[in-house]
Chain A
Amino acid sequence: MIDVLLYALLAGLGVALVTGPLGAFIVWRRMAYFGDTLAHSSLLGVALALLMSINPTLSVIIVCLVLALILVVLQQQQNLASDTLLGILSHTSLAIGLVAISLMPSVKVDLLSLLFGDLLTVTAQDIVIIYSIGTASILLMVLLWRPLLSITIHEELARVEGIPVTAVRSAFMLIIALEIAIAMKVVGILLITSLLVIPAATARRFARTPEQMALLASLLGCIAVICGLSSSWFLDTPAGPSIVLCAGGLFLLSLIKKQ
């Protein structure tokens, strides 16, 4: 029994560590809706994995990347406002995922656990996946920290200063896709964005540098995971939503601090 709790805790903390810095960039670059859209598409990734019997983590990463590519191409056409476009893709991809899964009666899928996470069924193998992908994501972010900050401030200025903007942006998309793939198990497809945005927004009120904000967001995410899991353990609440609720509670608490 204690194994279940330990695995859940390790998985939650692993994901929260990555969501700190990544979430900070999502907030600075105003990409919350973008992240949400990619997260929704991961259900399609799961459906494809079941259909073709491939690794679901890999399948989710690939689907997220393909959708990111489609988004970038469509945004360049500029016929539709960005948020309209995201709204279309976000819900269409979620719907395709739901329909695809319903069309596979032979496989038993716990839809609820996909949508809202299923932290208490984490296995040792999941932990290995979360920590290897998480470590790769954090390494990538450390390497790309300065160029990422530069393009967040002014993309053309960064380009003139010699930063390979397209490559950095693509790497950033990859990090988002990686994070979605590992966070799915923890908070579920529908709640991933909250884990990215809420701790970062809370950290903003206390941070004086970008780095402080990223680290503090990681810390707040970890606190939310610990509190949420405790609540799930003792009060028998669903783990994913409890974690998000704790993150939201921390944000409310942070509002006490005068800016």
Chain B
Amino acid sequence: MKAPLIELSAIGHAFQGNRVLSDVSLTIKTGQIITLIGPNGAGKTTLVKIVLSLLKPDTGTVTRAPDLRVGYMPQKLHIDPTLPLTLRRFLSLAEPSLPLCLNALAEVGIEKLIDMPLQSLSGGEMQRALLARAILRKPNLLVLDEPVQGVDVIGQEGLYRLIGQLRDRLDCGVLMVSHDLHLVMSATDEVICLNQHVCCHGHPDQVSTNPAFIELFGSRTAPYTHHHDHSHDSEDNSRNGHSGGGHHD
């Protein structure tokens, strides 16, 4: 058994009295791809921020491996059009060595674009550029926030395949956030279905047959739908001191 890269246990967090996460536990090990999935407002971004040390949780503990190096791929970049920035310059902010930057670009398959202005890249190219910047840090944990956002379906498949290859080549753990269910299923070792609390988790095949999961997302064969049997009305939560329960399967 490999030692965990990061271990979160019984994490709880609230923003100004609005409970976002309660009793969430999560362990990421080397070589493992874990996907967080859940509806908007489920606390995915908050959990990612806690993993990245951008946010200190109200309750619970986070244990990081001493040699943990995180490569982070944010959801989206908003670069002002007045900033003249080529892909080369963008990468050089993380790693000044050009050969290393070229290597990273080759890994994600966009080395030809090195002198393009960042603002002219397509959605898929941009995601690959962000991925290149993340792997430049030689991470042993990759954290990818909605890595296929703004990418067409064929491109999405390619990106998930690439993430799997990077996991093997870099021998790192991967935590990714996704809205999309079907494509993620084949690209992940473990799915954590989050709706402020962990609804269910496990191997994609197990999870997809879990009643809690089906309740939240519909069955695997059905088109991706998004209905909810329970809401986590924040007002209600704060009033009752109720934490992420209300779930009935």
Residue pair A160, B86 in contact (C-beta under 8 Å): no
Classify the interface of chain A: helix, strand, loop or mixed.
helix
Nearest CB on A from B227, distance (A): 31
Nearest CB on B from A199, distance (A): 12
Residue pair A157, B72 in contact (C-beta under 8 Å): yes
Contact among B52, B79, B80 with A160 in the assembled complex (CB-CB below 8 Å): B52
* A152→B83 CA distance, assembly (Å): 9
Of B89-97, B164-172, B191-199, the one touching chain A: B89-97
Residue pair A28, B70 in contact (C-beta under 8 Å): no
Q: Per-residue 0/1 for B62-106: is the Cβ within 8 Å of any A Cβ (1 yes, 0 no)?
A: 000000001010100101101111100110011000000000000
Residue pair A149, B93 in contact (C-beta under 8 Å): yes
Residue pair B84, A212 in contact (C-beta under 8 Å): yes
Q: Per-residue 0/1 for A121-152: is the Cβ within 8 Å of any B Cβ (1 yes, 0 no)?
A: 00000000000000000000000001001101
Q: Per-residue 0/1 for A207-224: is the Cβ within 8 Å of any B Cβ (1 yes, 0 no)?
A: 111101100000000000
Chain A's closest residue to B84 (CB) is A207
A/B pair count, beta carbons within 8 Å: 55
User: Does B56 interact with chain A (Cβ within 8 Å)?
Assistant: no
User: Does B54 interact with chain A (Cβ within 8 Å)?
Assistant: yes
Interface size on A, residues (CB 8 A): 24
User: Does B137 interact with chain A (Cβ within 8 Å)?
Assistant: yes
* A159→B85 CA distance, assembly (Å): 20
Interface size on B, residues (CB 8 A): 22
User: Does A3 interact with chain B (Cβ within 8 Å)?
Assistant: no
Q: Contacts A159-B54, A160-B52: A213 and B74 contacting too (C-beta < 8 A)?
A: no
Nearest CB on B from A243, distance (A): 22
Chain A's closest residue to B70 (CB) is A160
User: Does A108 interact with chain B (Cβ within 8 Å)?
Assistant: no
Residue pair B54, A30 in contact (C-beta under 8 Å): no
In the complex, what residues of A have CB within 8 A of residue B85's CB? Answer: 153, 209-210
User: Does A201 interact with chain B (Cβ within 8 Å)?
Assistant: yes
In the complex, what residues of A have CB within 8 A of residue B49's CB? Answer: 156
Nearest CB on A from B113, distance (A): 15
Residue pair B54, A213 in contact (C-beta under 8 Å): no
B residues contacting A by CB (< 8 A) are: 49, 52-54, 70, 72, 74, 77, 79-80, 82-86, 89-90, 93-94, 133, 137, 143
Contacts A156-B74, A213-B84 known; list 20 others, CB within 8 Å: A27-B82, A28-B83, A146-B93, A150-B93, A153-B83, A153-B90, A153-B93, A156-B52, A156-B54, A159-B52, A160-B54, A160-B70, A160-B143, A161-B94, A201-B82, A204-B82, A204-B84, A208-B86, A209-B89, A210-B85
What are 19 residue pairs bridging A and B, where the CB atoms are less than 8 Å apart in the complex? A27-B82, A150-B93, A152-B83, A153-B79, A153-B93, A154-B77, A157-B74, A159-B52, A160-B70, A161-B94, A161-B137, A204-B82, A207-B84, A208-B86, A210-B83, A210-B85, A210-B89, A212-B84, A213-B84
